[in-house]
Chain A
Amino acid sequence: EDKVVQSPLSLVVHEGDTVTLNCSYEVTNFRSLLWYKQEKKAPTFLFMLTSSGIEKKSGRLSSILDKKELFSILNITATQTGDSAVYLCAVVGGADGLTFGKGTHLIIQP
């Protein structure tokens, strides 16, 4: 069975802190890994990762994939209250085509 596991499930930090969110997977025929940010409504796309070791970066957010160890991390530096959201990891591949993790609920306190 395809599996995507995110950790931690929830995290509370103070503004200015750096956070690292984890996503590990067991999916046959892996094709890519996607990160989304979900605030109150629809998920919005952050990164798509297909190759190991190549960091994707957008402002204070960055992500990297390790296809040997089957995981990805999402880093957020100098966090702001606007970063509070649920961060979803999804893996393309496997029997269902696309499998989402349960998400990490991140709360940034002022």
Chain B
Amino acid sequence: NAGVTQTPKFRILKIGQSMTLQCTQDMNHNYMYWYRQDPGMGLKLIYYSVGAGITDKGEVPNGYNVSRSTTEDFPLRLELAAPSQTSVYFCASSYEPGWQPQHFGDGTRLSIL
């Protein structure tokens, strides 16, 4: 019963480096989401996808890119890491219609130094 799987769990990057946060789900959900959670704050939506080949910006998309080539995978890319991107990143998925109760991965804790 894997659900939503995120890798890596932790990562430290230097300013200006790039990396991809991986997210995969095995529940055949059409909707997938990326959030960031800063200390003492709620979750902020970065990007979401309503199906393979379709992505849309959320509240805080700047500095990030996503792709959705398959139903299962929804990677998040940071091209030029900045200290402001230090955060915990959560991937989630849900059944249609969108925004229904979401299943979350365990998160990736990312530090940019």
Contacts and interface: CB of A to CB of B under 8 A. Distances in A.
Contact of B99 (A6, A44, A92): A92
A45 B42 contact: no
A48 interface: yes
Nearest to A89: B42
Interface of A, secondary structure class, is: strand
B43 to A, nearest CB: 4
A32 interface: yes
A13 interface: no
Interface string A28-53: 00011010000001111100100000
A103 B104 contact: no
Nearest to B103: A45
Contact of A32 (B58, B99, B102, B106): B99
Contact of A97 (B41, B43, B44, B98): B98
State the main secondary structure of chain B at its contact with A.
Answer: loop
B45 A97 contact: yes
Q: How large is the interface on A (under 10, 10 to 19, 20 to 34, 35 or more residues)?
A: 20 to 34
20 contacts: A9-B40, A31-B99, A32-B99, A41-B106, A42-B90, A42-B105, A42-B106, A42-B107, A48-B100, A48-B101, A90-B43, A92-B99, A96-B58, A96-B59, A97-B45, A97-B98, A98-B33, A98-B45, A101-B42, A102-B42
Closest CB pairs A-B (n = 7)? A100-B42, A42-B104, A45-B101, A92-B99, A100-B43, A41-B106, A96-B59
Interface of A: 4, 6, 9, 31-32, 34, 41-45, 48, 88, 90, 92, 96-103
